Amino acid sequence: MILVNRAVSTTLDNVAWFSRIRTMNRKIHSTLSSSKPDSLRIQHLRSEDSNPESASGASGSSETLVYTRKKRLKQEALEPLEKKSQLCGLPDIEEFAFKKNTRSSKRSTETNITVASASTAGRSTETNITVASAKTTAGNPPENWVEVLEGIRQMRSSGDAPVDSMGCDKAGSFLPPSERRFAVLLGSLLSSQTKDQVNNAAIHRLHQKGLLTPEAIDKADESTIKELIYPVGFYARKATYMKKIAKICLEKYNGDIPSSLDDLLALPGIGPKMAHLILHIAWNDVQGICVDTHVHRICNRLGWVSRPATKQKTSSPEETRVALQQWLPKEEWVAINPLLVGFGQTICTPLRPRCEACSVAKLCPAAFKEASSSPSSKLKKSKQSKEL
């Protein structure tokens, strides 16, 4: 009997001991679950399902751990630092180049910007940048432009460029004034995206067929015009433009061409470059510079033009025209086009310019830079690196 009592008391002590351990485990587990981050929390779900099968097959004290991911809380915005510690380098000029001054839009202003740049010794140094508006620099010609222009004239004195013998100003030079003006209009239209040799040959074929007058173009079939002007660039579209232009000239200008810039720009297929060229040649009216792809390229290479209030290159011939007209004397507006076009056809070519043959290379910021990046030079460099 004494043994039975001892066994019962031992069993009760063990049950109480296990109960205490289980209670402690629960407290520890609840403490750990509450200390987990919000992004990963543990929820205890007791298996108290209403389904009797699941309830009978599982223990009443079984637990299931379910992990649920919650959205991260937005971090609070940090307090802004001072200007000197906020900027670590020079800003891009484009960030403030085109901001208009609403208070004094009519006056030219200057902006002083203080930038903190990290030095090698761990100290911050300040750099003052003065940014002038477009009106401040407008009208200031580039350095040595007269010497550069005279050097280009000497290189072009031979007159061996295609533009010298086959340019748009040569179209219909043997015709009466009104017919010649229409021929100049057609030649300017066909010159877009077309070499002078191809354009001159197309005008010659039109002349042989008697199609250099608005009356003849209006009566001719569009397919015939396409065959005659091929292979000029976009010949099919230009044939359509020629028919429309001929009809407009007959109906609105009595067989002649428009004499104003706005009326020329209203014609289909005529842009600013062509309109200014037509005014120069046909009407001897100088209202702007004729800027084509050659003039646009060379002016940027020489550093003659840039976008307003920046040192970046102009992105289009029209931007180049506006920038060039701000400082180039008006007596040079007509001569600058054939001068630079011929220079671009012979020496300052689009690909691999002949900088070694250019007498003004020492004054050109782009001299030998584009030539060194040609495919042949890259091939030579790759061969040399392989040999090493």
Q: Distance between alpha carbon 151 and the CA centroid of its chain, in Å?
A: 32
User: Helical H runs in the chain?
Assistant: 2-35, 52-57, 83-86, 94-97, 134-137, 145-155, 162-166, 177-191, 196-208, 214-219, 222-229, 235-252, 261-265, 272-283, 293-302, 317-325, 336-346, 369-372, 375-387
Distance CA 210, CA 170 (A): 17
Options 273, 311, 330, 380, the catalytic residue: 273
- Report yes or no: 294 and 344 within 8 Å, Cβ to Cβ: yes
Residue 265: CB partners within 8 Å, gap ≥ 6? 271, 272, 275
Distance CA 75, CA 336 (A): 61
Is 273 among the catalytic positions?
A: yes
Structure tokens at 14: 């063990």
Q: Does residue 231 have a cis peptide bond before it, meaning omega lies within 30 degrees of 0?
A: yes
DSSP string of 59-111? -TT-EEEEEE--PPPPPPPPPPPPHHHH--SPPPTHHHHT---SSSTTS--EE
Residues taking part in catalysis:
273
